Structure 1
Amino acid sequence: MDTEPQHMERGPSSTPATGTEEGSRSVRMPGPRDVLRALSWRRVAVLGVLGAASLLLFSAFVVQPFLIPSSSMEPGLQVGDRVLVNKLAYRFGDNPQRGDVVVFDGTGSFVQEPARENPVTGLAHGAASALGLAEPAETDFVKRVIGVGGDRVVCCDEEGKVEVNGRAIDERYLYFGDAPSSAPFDIVVPSGTLWVMGDHRSNSRDSRDHLGEPGGGTVPVDKIIGRVDWIGWPAGRWDSLEGTDAFSDVRDPDGAHG
């Protein structure tokens, strides 16, 4: 019987894996997944708030999305269109011109007393509408400028057309089949105000409907929010808003071309 002690030899698997240990101490560059894990929900929330704030600031001073809530401006603007309102159009001394499509605050002209609402709800709705995600405030309207301060606007002439300073207007932008107006009117637009009308005349509450109210249906220029220059959504209607030459022959009350 062999009683001589047997020496146990370590196999290769028992040898310390020096290379492995050294590899575990090496620095590994973080990958995209590591970066995403590092972004906590708090950081994501902060980035979201900053992004929303930036959009709101841009909307407040440069370009504001505006959701078209009614058919009063068809066919040019349709229900559900999201237009982009250029807030810089009249910021540097320029005034609205005849034919411009504008968004304005109708408080004091089209709406005498805005409805009261919960402040928190109002703030949330205001932010959503400023981003074009909700219908605009009930005090905001979109119409076309027909007359500016000093203009005499009359409806209608012998051919049933609107006249501005004695010149008949060929309003090719009107909704097909609509008359320029079913209600007669004759007004001299006060200085610093505008006479505005919808393109879908038979389905538009505009300056004609407020003749007997304070302001006589006109809108103060300082209530203009901006000019509608583009249709931003839906994608199939993405385009600049087509201008009009309907007022090119209209002269100012002093005889100069407008």
Structure 2
Amino acid sequence: MQRRPGRKRGIWAIVLLVLGGALIAGPIVFVSGRFTVVHQYGDNMAPTLAHGDLVVLRTDTSALRRGDVVIYDPGTWGLKGPFIGRVAALGGEHISYAMGDKVLTLDGQPLDEPYLNGLPGDGGVAFDVAVPQGKVFILGDNRGNSADSRFHLDSSGGTLPVSAVTGIEQPQRTLAYVAPGLAVLTGLFLLPVGIGLGIAALVVRRRKPVPAGPVWGAVHVEQP
């Protein structure tokens, strides 16, 4: 039995189209379920984040660490968010600042903050907070222009429940960030190749129709 012209091209076209579609759809579903994207409005996180910057955050906050840039809900402060800030202290830690000091202290030790814009005490607010378990103390990198935990000390010492943190900034060079993008690019490359092979298969079939063969079950009758 003779094969249809362009059959191999047609099979490869289907394979590439299915694979390309999967490589595009899969990462989109993965990213939409595990990441969120927000814009930074304001200068409270300068110079780390500038006004208008796009920030990618993972929605799994179970691995929250001190120093993470996060998006959070300031509802317990009576404010409408979300806001973006940096986790300065976690539950069980003691963070403080006295006017005139050059650094903040964490558990009695100087806190290294290389990301700051200006001085740690900019904003003119002293504080001395023992962060309860299950809570976080959040500060902006631009202390002179950040409505953060320092200005809500009357509400649990300015701390927020960990549940108020809804996203953690995803470093752009990690595998979880790069791999989905590479998969989508590969899918975008495979789709036009698959479409091209499919078109080529149709062209070949039209130019070379399948030769007519015997009809199964036909009975040969001799003419008298």
> How does the TM-score come out when normalised to structure 2?
0.59
1:165 aligned to which of 107, 129, 149: 107
Structure 2: unaligned runs, 5 residues or longer: 1-24, 179-224
Contact persistence 2:61–2:166 (CA under 8 A): no
Q: List aligned pairs for 1:46-195, cutoff 5 A.
A: 58-59=31-32, 61-90=33-62, 94=63, 96-109=64-77, 111=79, 138-156=80-98, 159-175=101-117, 177-181=118-122, 182-195=124-137
Taking the aligned partners of 2:75 and 2:28, their CA distance within structure 1 comes to 25
Evaluate the alpha carbon distance shift between residue 215 and residue 151 of structure 1 in structure 2; reply closer, same or farther with a 3 A threshold.
same
Q: Which has the larger radius of gyration?
A: 1
AA matched with 1:107: G
1:110 and 1:210 in contact (8 A); partners too? no
Residues 105 and 111 in structure 2, CA contact (< 8 A), matched pair in contact too? yes
Aligned to 1:42: none
Could you tell me which amino acid in structure 1 is paired with residue 147 of structure 2?
A: R
Q: How does 1:35-54 map to 2 (within 5 A)?
A: none
Shift of 1:89: 4.4
Moved over 4 A (4+): 54-58
- Cα contact 1:63–1:86 (8 A) shared by 2: yes
Higher relative contact order (CA 8 A, sep 6+): 2
Alignment match, 1:217: 158
Task: Give the alignment's Cα RMSD to 1 decimal.
Answer: 2.7
> What is the CA distance between 1:226 and its match in structure 2?
1.3
For structure 1, which runs of at least 5 residues remain unmatched after alignment?
1-50, 112-137, 233-238, 240-258
In structure 2, the residue matched to 1:226 is 167
Any idea what the Cα deviations from partners look like across 1:142-201, whole Å, max 9, x if unmatched?
1111111111111038742100101101211101x3343421110111111000000000
Other-structure match for 2:192: none
Q: Deviations over 1:44-92 (max 9, x none)?
A: xxxxxxx9xx969954x311001001110000111000110111242xx
Partners of 2:54 and 2:141 in 1: how far apart?
17
Give the partner amino acid of 1:217: G
In structure 2, do the counterparts of structure 1 residues 110 and 152 end up closer, same or farther at CA, with 3 Å as the change threshold? farther
| Equivalent-residue separation in structure 2 for 1:231 and 1:57 (angstroms) | 16
Aligned length: 149
Residue aligned with 1:216, SS: helix
- Are residues 139 and 57 of structure 1, via their aligned partners in 2, closer, same or farther at CA, if it must alter by over 3 Å? farther
Paired residue type of 2:159: T
TM-score, L = length of structure 1: 0.52
Distance in 2, Cα, partners of 1:168 & 1:101: 20
Higher deviation after alignment, 218-227 or 101-110: 101-110
Relative to its length, the structure with more helix (as a share) is: 2
